[in-house]
Every structure is written in structure tokens, then in C-alpha cells.
Amino acid sequence: MATYKDIKGFQIQYLDSDPATSNVGQVWYNSTTKALKGTTAGGGSDGTWSSGGALNSAYAYTGGAGTQGAALSFGGYPNIATSESYNGTSWTETNDLNTGRPQLGGSGAYTAAIAVGGDSSTAAETFNGTSWTSVPSLATARGRSGITGGSSSALCAGGYNGSYLAINEKYDGSSWTEVGNLNTGRSNQGSAGTSTAALTISGGAPTTVNVEQWDGSSWTEINNVNRGRSNAGSGGTVTTALFFGGEPPGENTEYYDGTSWTEVANLATDRYQISRGNVGTAELGICIGGTGPAGPNPILTATEEWVIPDTLTKTFTVS
């Protein structure tokens, strides 16, 4: 039988403590704990939530965009125009939206974000890192839609305007055009991806576990989430995505690896009506505000940050 030295060309290190830093694949024996250990790459099941900086003001039904280290939260109930930016530590009020409204959606990078729709609204605005600019309106007024893409190319899928919609519109930087509709009309869904490769996740129609993937021309049903909910948070791409919180009030988080959804570490606070949009990534996610579970439905300023570690120390066991 081949030994570790035969395979790797060197013997396992014999140490009295775990190394301060190590590379993926490194193996050692800890003589103090009498355990064989090694370093592996972090995966979706290894992610955890931790507290981030609090919003300056608490609003429900806001839109969101950006990344964990450069995020936006904007709009809200009843007709709020306030916009706040996040630098990874704290929130700062920025220039307001031109049209205040609740139940809008957002997506895109901090310097190229888009805010779309809202209650009975066709309004669309883009953010350049400093201010919001009104751009051509949606063809169909609606709120609670799934938004992906950014300021020059975006997708607005589903939503609600008195009925649950399957309508899908694409923005090319100058106008919105109706393209292939969702297979299942819905609102308050999660979203991930771009205008050419997107996910619409769960949502209410009534509440469904259904997930659909957009390939640039049509939607295809893919594997369902484990727990259907609406007004949840989301972010990522069509190959790695995060879906968290939602209504009924919940702390549940699911991670998508491009094939299936897995329940992973929960949020610290049950919440729904989280800032809606494609916000953050599956590796570095962000949960912004929302409404908590305790009565009578307190609106939250709390932010939580999701991180999947690059590496982990594992203890080898005999099984």
C-alpha cells in the first residue's frame, strides 16, 4: 500500500499546534490534540451570517443593489425616496431617488445600479455612484418584480399590479421591450444573475417553490427551493446563488450550486420584506433591513453579512 510520502513525496508534518496559515491540501498531525488535520476549500455549507452596520432609517419594501462592500438600499413604504449606501462597515445617506415608492426592485453594481417599478409604477432610475437619473419607463406598471442586470442592460420579471404577472421586460439602455414570459406568474420573488442569464426564485402566486432560469430568450423550470417564500433576499448568479429570509417570517437560508438548493446556516434574525433585488453574491451576501417576526411587525435597520471562508481546517476521523 502506498504511503502519504510515496504519493506526495514528503512526510506529514508533526506539529504541536495548528499552523497560523496553510494552503488547501496541506496535512499535519497536531501532537497536542492528537489529531490528524488538513486544510480544505470552503463551500456553501460552510458559510455563516454575522452582524453588519445598521441602516440610518428603517423602511419596509425597499429596493437593493450592489455588493457586500458597496451596497445600496433605496425607496420603501409608504412613498420613500431615501437612498443609503454601504461601504462594508456603515451606511450613509446618498442622493434621493427622483420618484419615491415602495415595493421596487434593484440590481447592478454600486456605480451602475438600476431601480425598477414599485407599487403601480412604471418608473425606472439608474445610479452612477453619486445620483439617480430617471430613464425610460416600463411598459407595464408593477411592483414586487424580480430584477437582474444593471444600468445599461436589465431584466424585470413578474410582479404584481392587481394580479400576479408573468410579463418579462428587458432594458437595453434606452428602452424596455417585452420578451419571453415566465412559465409561472409571481411576485415578491428572489432574483439572481444578469439580463441574459438569470434566476427567478420562489415568490408568491400564491407562495411557490418553483425556480426558473432565463437563457436570454426563454425561461426553463429548474430544481425547486426547499422552502417556498416571498419577500425574501437574494443574490448571485445562475451557477451560485443565495436565497434567505422571507415570508412567513423566517431565518432560513438556501445555497444554489448550479444544480440544486441546500439549506445552510440561518440568519440571526427572522425577517421578510428584505431589500429586494440581486444584491451581493453567493459567497459574500448581504441581508438589508426588512420586517421582523415580533409584533406588531417592527421594521428593522439591521444588516447581516454572509461569508463563505476561502479555507477551513478539518480534523480527519476514521469512519
- Could you read off the pLDDT of 149-175 as tens digits, one per residue? 999 999 999 999 999 999 999 999 999
Q: What is the DSSP letter of 6?
A: H
Q: Are residues 173 and 185 in the same domain?
A: yes
Q: Count of alpha carbons within 13 Å of 263, Cβ hemisphere only?
A: 8
Q: Are residues 86 and 220 in the same domain?
A: yes
Q: Are residues 196 and 217 in the same domain?
A: yes
Q: Please check whether residue 313 lies inside any domain of the structure.
A: no
- CA–CA gap between residue 105 and residue 127 (Å, rounded): 13
How many structural domains is the chain composed of?
2
Q: Are residues 22 and 88 in the same domain?
A: no
Share of the chain above pLDDT 70, in %: 92
More confident residue, 137 or 37: 137
Residue type, 311: T
Q: Please check whether residue 79 lies inside any domain of the structure.
A: yes
More confident residue, 63 or 30: 63
Q: Are residues 120 and 255 in the same domain?
A: yes
Q: Are residues 185 and 212 in the same domain?
A: yes
> In terms of residue numbers, what domain contains 27?
4-41
Confidence class of residue 133 from pLDDT cuts 50, 70 and 90? very high
- CA–CA gap between residue 233 and residue 49 (Å, rounded): 13
Q: Please check whether residue 105 lies inside any domain of the structure.
A: yes
Q: Are residues 33 and 76 in the same domain?
A: no
Q: Please check whether residue 317 lies inside any domain of the structure.
A: no
Mean pLDDT of 268-283: 95
Confidence class of residue 185 from pLDDT cuts 50, 70 and 90? very high
- Per-residue pLDDT, 6: 56
Tens-digit pLDDT profile for residues 234-275: 999 999 999 999 988 789 999 999 999 999 999 999 999 999
Q: Are residues 9 and 67 in the same domain?
A: no
Q: How many separate helices (H) and strands (E) can be counted in the chain?
A: 1, 27
Q: Please check whether residue 312 lies inside any domain of the structure.
A: no
Tens-digit pLDDT profile for residues 294-309: 666 689 999 999 999 8
Residue 78: is the preceding peptide bond cis (ω within 30°)? Answer: yes
- Per-residue pLDDT, 76: 95
Give me the CATH number covering residue 147.
2.120.10.80
More confident residue, 248 or 139: 139
Tens-digit pLDDT profile for residues 90-102: 999 999 999 999 9
Q: Please check whether residue 215 lies inside any domain of the structure.
A: yes
Q: Please check whether residue 314 lies inside any domain of the structure.
A: no
Q: Are residues 157 and 282 in the same domain?
A: yes
Closest residue by Cα to residue 107 from 53, 162, 163, 145? 145
Q: Please check whether residue 82 lies inside any domain of the structure.
A: yes
Q: Are residues 109 and 138 in the same domain?
A: yes
Q: Are residues 76 and 225 in the same domain?
A: yes
Q: Are residues 22 and 49 in the same domain?
A: no
